[in-house]
């Protein structure tokens, strides 16, 4: 099961209390203060891992607590520091403070470690309060509380290219034809229920990461079909590949379908429409000529180039692969930052 949102409670450990104690030793009258400091509370860190691809584990465990610092004790013994806790999250996870909405961290690479909640400092024992005028202090500090907060985790897959289009447009078939990804393919709508990533490789060892996004339909923004929740995964794609089925099984009005998807994109977030789009007519092996012509006319009018492919015969796939790569490279060399914050 794919889960891309979770809310969890994080509590770093409290610091241990300082201790009030005095040295007692044979033949040493009035030994000085010897209360040790409390240990520091354990911190809570997040660590990104490329081995995870869902936030599902957070359905089962929602509370993460750093260890408590041990109390200080006599003979100047320092309390033990509380154990630090590392929470593993998939690459692409954003950690947001639920109370303030502040983005605490965005894990865009594997192996990043970030402190999210700091453990409380240990209190100082009375030995630390001794001064020339007060050589036998009877005070010690309490340990400080560790940070505690609710955080929302949002997983947004990190891909260069996002495939969008109506259900059955052939998105999953396309990704399985150009990469090693093997999502489920079937002739009913909403076969794909969660985003899948595929890596498209090139002979010169270049590569492009493509995300297969579940199908969208008109009204997705108000929850129709699978809704638009998966669009958060295209937020960070730099290029969108917009598939439209021009075969007999596709929509009667393919241009209307393109416009409907674009409308859903803009209703979700206007910025999505600003992303570079490659329009692709799919299922070219069984195209219906009025439908293909309508899409060609539309692209001509809009000044857009149209790619035509068949994932079944392989026609046009090389050109499309290179178009994805060249478009990405152009965006990078233009120095733009089309993927938002990545």
Q: Which residues of this chain interact with ligand GTP, rule CB under 6 A?
A: 165, 167-173, 185-187, 189-192, 214-215, 247, 282-283, 285-286, 310-312
179 near Mg ion, rule: CB under 5 A: no
Q: Which does 254 bind (CB under 5 to 8 A by kind): ligand GTP, Mg ion, none?
A: none
SS3 string, the chain, reads CCCCEEEEEEECCCCCCCCCCECCECCECCCCECCCCCCCCCCEEEEEECCCCCCCHHHHCCEEECCCCCCCECCCECCCCCCCEEEEEECCEEEEECCCCCEEEECCCCCCEEEEECCCCCCCCHHHHCCCCCCCCCCCCCCCCCCEEEEEEEECCCCCEEEEECCCCCHHHHHHHHCCCCCCCCCCCCCCCCCEEEEEECCCCCEEEEEECCCCCCCHHHCCCCCCHHHHHCCCCCEEEEEEECECCCCCCHHHHHHHHHHHHHHHCHHHHCCEEEEEEECHHHECHHHHHHHHHHHHHHCCCEEECCCCCCCCHHHHHHHHHHHHHHHHHCCCCCCCCC
Q: How far is the CB of 164 from ligand GTP (least distance, A)?
A: 9
* Residue 281: CB minimum distance to ligand GTP, A: 10
Q: Which is nearer to ligand GTP, 79 or 214 (CB)?
A: 214
Q: How far is the CB of 161 from ligand GTP (least distance, A)?
A: 15
- Which residue lies nearer to Mg ion by CB, 143 or 254? 254
Choice between 189 and 256, CB closer to ligand GTP: 189
Question: Which listed option, ligand GTP, Mg ion, none, makes contact with residue 119 (CB within 5 to 8 Å by class)?
Answer: none
277 binds, among Mg ion, ligand GTP, none (CB under 5 to 8 A by kind): none
113 burial type by CB count under 10 A (0-12 exposed, 13-18 middle, 19+ buried):
exposed
As a whole number of angstroms, the distance between CA 245 and CA 266 comes to 21
Residue 168 site contact among ligand GTP, Mg ion, none (CB < 5 to 8 Å, cut-off depends on kind)? ligand GTP
CB of 323 to Mg ion, least distance (A): 21
CB of 249 to ligand GTP, least distance (A): 7
Q: Can residue 194 be called a binding residue for Mg ion (CB under 5 A)? A: no
| Residue 192 interacts with Mg ion (CB under 5 A): yes or no | yes
Among Mg ion, ligand GTP, none, what binds residue 170 when CB lies within 5 to 8 Å by partner kind? ligand GTP
Q: Which does 329 bind (CB under 5 to 8 A by kind): Mg ion, ligand GTP, none?
A: none
Residues 172, 179, 194, 310: which binds Mg ion (CB under 5 A)? Answer: 172
Q: Which is nearer to Mg ion, 196 or 321 (CB)?
A: 196
- Contact criterion met (CB below 8 Å) for 292 and 309: no
CB of residue 146 to ligand GTP, shortest distance in Å: 45
> Which span sits near Mg ion by CB under 5 A: 35-43, 191-199, 248-256, 272-280?
191-199
Positions that interact with Mg ion (CB under 5 A) = 172, 191-192
């Amino acid at each position: 099961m794919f889960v891309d949102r979770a809310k969890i409670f994080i509590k770093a450990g409290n610091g241990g209390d300082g201790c009030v104690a005095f040295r007692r030793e044979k033949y040493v009258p009035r030994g000085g203060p010897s209360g040790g400091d409390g240990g520091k509370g354990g911190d809570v860190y997040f660590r990104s891992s490329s081995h995870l691809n869902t936030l599902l584990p957070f359905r089962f465990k929602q509370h993460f607590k750093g260890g408590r610092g041990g109390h200080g004790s006599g003979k100047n013994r320092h309390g033990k520091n509380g154990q630090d806790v590392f929470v593993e999250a998939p690459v692409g996870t954003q950690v947001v403070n639920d109370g303030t909405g502040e983005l605490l961290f965005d894990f865009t690479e594997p192996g990043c470690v970030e402190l999210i909640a700091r453990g409380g400092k240990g209190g100082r024992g009375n030995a630390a309060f001794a001064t020339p005028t007060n050589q036998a202090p009877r005070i010690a500090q309490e340990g400080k509380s560790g940070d505690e907060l609710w955080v929302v985790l949002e997983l947004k897959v990190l891909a260069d290219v996002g495939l969008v289009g109506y259900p059955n447009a052939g998105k999953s078939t396309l990704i399985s034809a150009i990469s090693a990804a093997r999502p489920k393919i079937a002739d009913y709508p909403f076969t794909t229920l969660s985003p899948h990533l595929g890596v498209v490789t090139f002979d010169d060892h270049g590569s492009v990461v493509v995300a297969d996004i579940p199908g969208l339909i008109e009204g997705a923004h108000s929850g129709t079909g699978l809704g638009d929740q998966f669009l958060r995964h295209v937020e960070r794609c730099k290029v969108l590949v917009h598939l439209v089925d021009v075969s007999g099984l596709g929509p009667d009005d393919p241009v209307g379908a393109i416009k409907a998807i674009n409308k859903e994109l803009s209703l979700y977030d206007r910025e999505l429409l600003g992303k570079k789009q490659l329009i692709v007519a799919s299922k070219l092996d069984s195209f219906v000529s009025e439908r293909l012509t309508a899409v060609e006319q539309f692209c001509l009018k809009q000044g857009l180039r149209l790619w035509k492919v068949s994932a079944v015969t392989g026609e046009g796939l090389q050109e499309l692969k290179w178009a994805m790569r060249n478009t990405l490279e152009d965006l990078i060399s233009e120095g733009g930052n089309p993927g938002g914050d990545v």
